[in-house]
């Protein structure tokens, strides 16, 4: 873990400097005004997350320790097959973590902070929110610990996975030809961040895009549909990082207070973001149906 902390402290200034350089360049070369207030908001989010790192508790920590004590085997990174297993396994479980973060409100409440900027740029890459560690996101990677990778190795590999994704938030990088079939690229990630009905809930991969293609969640960027960034229900106008981090949880608590049955409590917590008991919500299926992209009687339209 000390090695990971040292790497983080080395990478952090590089990441921050790259975001500033990009902001200065875009300010000079684009008609659209670069949102420096959003840049400062992302920086404040990063600072707050570093302060919260001093709180040692996460929902996953005790569980991962127990799983490690009952692991099937012990994997060594000296073995190339173990390294390959770690890479592919992490990609697989990251895909399902990321997909769940968009399709279950409990996880979306934390993850939505990352999607709150109305511009996609390198500064948006490190606006990750404050409460992910408390929602149990690390639990998705439990099978890797059970297979014999230490929790520290798994979390270090996850950090490297997220570091790869930093450059994906540069919206000025064009499509990358045949690499689009294998890797997660800036083009694929633009679609992931877009709030257009045509693009919602797609491209969840970390380094690879193959699991999106395998499980039917890949959507290619279109020349005729320009990506519109921000949250689905409403683009964020606030640059107050406290509002951005706490508003999703306050909304969830209000809905839980209005629940009239245990089923409604469960659905408010874990159903798709936007679910309402009267069926008049703003889930992805609802938005696509209202936009005429999904026939009203189709299976996709009635999933939520």
- What is the per-residue pLDDT across 105-131, written as a single tens digit (0 to 9) for each? 999 999 999 999 999 999 999 999 999
Distance CA 119, CA 72 (A): 45
Look up tokens 């998705």; give the residue.
140
- Which stretches of the chain drop beneath a pLDDT of 50? 295-304
Q: Give DSSP secondary structure letters for 10-71.
A: HHHHHHHHHHHHHHHHHHHH-SSPP-HHHHHHHHHHHHHHHHHTT----SSHHHHHHHHHT-
Whole-number pLDDT of residue 290: 84
The phi and psi torsions of 76 (rounded to 5 degrees) equal -115, 135
Distance CA 164, CA 180 (A): 15
Whole-number pLDDT of residue 258: 95
Whole-number pLDDT of residue 2: 58
Strand partners, 194: 229
- Asked if 234 contacts 198 with a C-beta cutoff of 8 angstroms, the reply is no
Look up tokens 């339209």; give the residue.
301
The dihedral built from the CA positions of residue 49, 50, 52 and 55, taken in this order, carries a sign that is: positive
- What is the per-residue pLDDT across 137-187, written as a single tens digit (0 to 9) for each? 888 999 999 999 999 899 899 999 999 999 999 999 999 999 999 999 999
Distances (CA, A) of 290 to 53, 259, 267, 280, 293: 42, 26, 22, 11, 8
Whole-number pLDDT of residue 303: 42
């Amino acid at each position: 873990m000390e090695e990971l902390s040292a790497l983080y402290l080395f990478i952090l200034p590089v990441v921050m400097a790259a975001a500033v350089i990009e902001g200065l360049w875009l300010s000079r070369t684009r008609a659209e005004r670069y949102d420096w207030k959003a840049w400062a908001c992302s920086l404040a989010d990063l600072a707050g997350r570093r302060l919260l790192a001093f709180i040692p508790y996460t929902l996953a920590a005790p569980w991962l320790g127990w799983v490690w004590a009952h692991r099937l085997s012990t994997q060594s990174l000296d073995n190339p097959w173990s390294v390959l297993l770690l890479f592919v396994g992490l990609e697989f479980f990251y895909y399902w973590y990321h997909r769940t973060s968009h399709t279950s409100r409990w996880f979306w409440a934390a993850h939505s902070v990352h999607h709150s900027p109305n511009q996609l740029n390198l500064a948006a890459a490190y606006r990750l929110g404050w409460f992910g560690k408390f929602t149990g996101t690390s639990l998705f990677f439990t099978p890797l610990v059970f297979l014999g990778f230490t929790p520290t190795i798994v979390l270090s590999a996850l950090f490297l996975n997220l570091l790869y994704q930093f450059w994906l938030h540069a919206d000025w990088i064009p499509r990358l030809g045949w690499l689009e079939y294998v890797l997660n690229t800036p083009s694929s990630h633009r679609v992931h961040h877009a709030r257009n009905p045509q693009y919602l809930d797609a491209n969840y991969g970390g380094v690879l895009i193959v699991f999106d293609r395998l499980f039917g969640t890949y959507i290619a960027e279109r020349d005729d549909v320009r990506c519109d960034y921000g949250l689905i229900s409403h683009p964020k106008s606030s640059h107050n990082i406290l509002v951005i981090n706490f508003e999703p949880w306050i909304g969830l608590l209000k809905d839980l207070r209005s629940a009239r049955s245990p089923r409604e409590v469960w659905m408010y917590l874990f159903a798709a973001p936007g679910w309402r008991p009267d069926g008049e919500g703003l889930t992805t299926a609802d938005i696509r149906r209202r936009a005429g992209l999904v026939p009203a009687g189709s299976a996709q339209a009635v999933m939520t």
